[in-house]
A and B are shown apart, each in its own frame.
Chain A
Amino acid sequence: MKSLSRLSAVMRKEVRQMRRDRLTFAMIFGIPLIQLLLFGYAINTDVRNLTSAVADEAGTHLSREFVARLSATQVTNIQYRVDTAADLERMLRSGEISLGVAIPPDFDRRVSDDRRAAIHILVDGSDPTIAGIADQLRNMPIAFDTAAKDREQALIEVRPYYNPERRTPINIIPGLIGVILTMTMLMFTAVAVVRERERGNLELLINTPVTSAELMVGKVVPYIAIGLVQLAVILVAGGLLFDVPVRGSIIDLYLAAALFIAANLALGLFVSTAVKTQFQAMQMTFFLILPSILLSGFVFPFDGMPVIAQHIGEALPITHFIRLTRGVMLREATLGDLPGALIYLGAFAVVATLAAALRFSKRLD
């Protein structure tokens, strides 16, 4: 009996404390709901609406009909029409499109010639799932009256760019860099301020002439170096063990990583100023890492997600960073090809640092 009453005392104490920790209490409902929404919406292997461009160099009745049918499959979302196949390659490299349809000038003749493919579909192979989706297009039932029967060469030829052998590590590692950096950087800094608050160091620090900005920047900079070392570890190990290439400039990659790390650290600092205990900081980190993995295009292709999930994804720094790493490492893109992602990361870092410095007042009340 005594044991029971002691047990119940401990249980009631636990519930009481949990109820008073508002963040933990919110997590009890928040985590299942958000997980459900994330997984439910984001995990969609039935990818549709790949952002596409068409270079119709034939411009015939037949080629237009083909484009119309392709459009009707809803696998592609034809957003651009360009002049040449070279334009498609450029857009693919810069990440503007995931899929390019090249229709050669002699399209009509090729359709009736069974030895030559009439359509080239250029696919961004740096995204693991997109290449697989494009394969479905190859088997698209397109029956043209003039088409040769029993073709030696399929009517549609799919060319996966950047990862022709379709090796998974090559697809995964550029994104993984983003996930690893997000995890470590966010965690390091999320506890940075709150740890000093818990230990009492902060009361000492805010009584010295050190300014909020000095304190914030001073906390962030060493971790940027740590992040860059982590990147080196991943690149060397990835290269040695899995043959993952860095096709673009390594300097570009490091510049992008530095910006991305800064953005994450700033976000971490902001979290740190917003929470009260280290435990809450870890909860918030976990809370941010989930969408970073699921909605960033790392696991599931961005194009396949519903619009809301895409908006959330666009807000996360990692989404932009993965575009950059895939571009630079696999598609030989330069930073100039992906200005949007770069600008977003920079802006994010600046805004989050400012927000953290503003929230961190040098007062206790």
Chain B
Amino acid sequence: MNDDLAIRARGLSKHFGELRAVDKLDLDVPRASIYGFLGPNGSGKSTTIRMLCGLLTPTEGSASVLGIEIPGKATLLKPRIGYMTQKFSLFADMTVMENLQFIAEIYSYPKRERKARTEELLEKYDLVAQRKQFAGTMSGGQRQRLALACAVLHKPELLLLDEPTSAVDPQSRRDFWANLFRLAETGTTILVSTHYMDEAERCHRLAILDKGVKVADGSPLDLQDNTGMHVVEVLADDPYRAQTALIDIPLVASVTQLGIRLRVLIPESVNDPLRLVNDALRAGRVVAESRVVAASLEDVFVAVTMKPGQQAA
């Protein structure tokens, strides 16, 4: 057993009938780090998180979470993990303070310290003014802060966050991530699922999931450096025509449009990707500027989630 790992999963699978929601997932999450699950809806992020906290029983495989075998001993795990559901799951008809107190009682937080802890959380998560407000009447950002405050109230060693920022504005998201970094610094391991690239970039490590399968993992920089692809950015007056000119070239792995820019992925085996692109554009009579750029996480995502047939050799 490796003590540096908060989560270690081997061959973790969950089938719902015919559907393989999660397929033979191996996972190593180091302690005190922020580990991201990046993937589109239905890629198995939630299902994995639910298996890791004992909500779902894996069809196959095993996992050790904080040294506890899952499934089986999930009850021992509950006091040591915090979980933030995708949907707001606190009590809408109770006030912020009442929700916090309820959670404190449920987790048997030491009575003498309860008041100090709830006050500390109100302060930390900027909810002092909302103390007496009903949770149901708060904004998305406030609810999310309350949900996080409740999830960390009992000082869990591991925090599982299921798309925590899907219902909040960009400013709230930045603040939220600042909170996560603070928590990670104090030793909390955080597993967070997201479908935002910018959030994925902030994680220490990252697993990209696609249709239940882990297609890549590593630090965001590692992933960007090891896409196995050249990235050529094309700035065209008529991006649509540029795309048409490029898409059918056998050596072009993918073309993604970002506004008036196109990002073209070409396997590293190609020696001069820029020439390949320029030739194709000229052949299509498209006026465009192109240059080789570093891969972004989005490029990584596109590269690793391509269908096998698409991936030109």
Contacts and interface: CB of A to CB of B under 8 A. Distances in A.
A208 B289 CA distance: 56
Interface residues of B, number: 24
B89 A363 contact: no
A196 to B, nearest CB: 9
Contacts of B57: 363, 365
Contacts of B89: 199-204
Q: Is the interface of A mostly helix, strand, loop or mixed?
A: loop
Contacts of A365: 55-57
B264 to A, nearest CB: 43
A209 B53 contact: no
Contacts of A308: none
A136 interface: no
B54 interface: yes
Interface residues of A, number: 17
Contacts of A204: 83, 85, 89-90, 150
A206 to B, nearest CB: 7
A207 B91 contact: no
B55 A208 contact: no
A200 B84 CA distance: 11
A207 B51 CA distance: 12
Contacts of A200: 85, 87-89
A363 B74 CA distance: 10
Given A201-B91, A207-B83, A210-B106, A363 B78 contact: no
B226 interface: no
A364 interface: yes
Given A363-B55, A363-B56, A365-B57, A207 B88 contact: no
Nearest to B82: A207
Contacts of B87: 200, 203
B79 interface: yes
Nearest to A205: B106
Nearest to B56: A365
Given A199-B92, A201-B89, A201-B90, A209 B56 contact: no
B107 interface: yes
Contact of B106 (A199, A203, A209, A363): A209
28 contacts: A199-B89, A199-B92, A200-B87, A200-B88, A201-B90, A202-B89, A204-B85, A204-B89, A204-B90, A205-B106, A206-B55, A207-B53, A207-B55, A207-B81, A207-B83, A208-B78, A208-B106, A208-B107, A209-B75, A209-B107, A209-B108, A211-B75, A363-B54, A363-B55, A363-B56, A364-B56, A365-B56, A365-B57
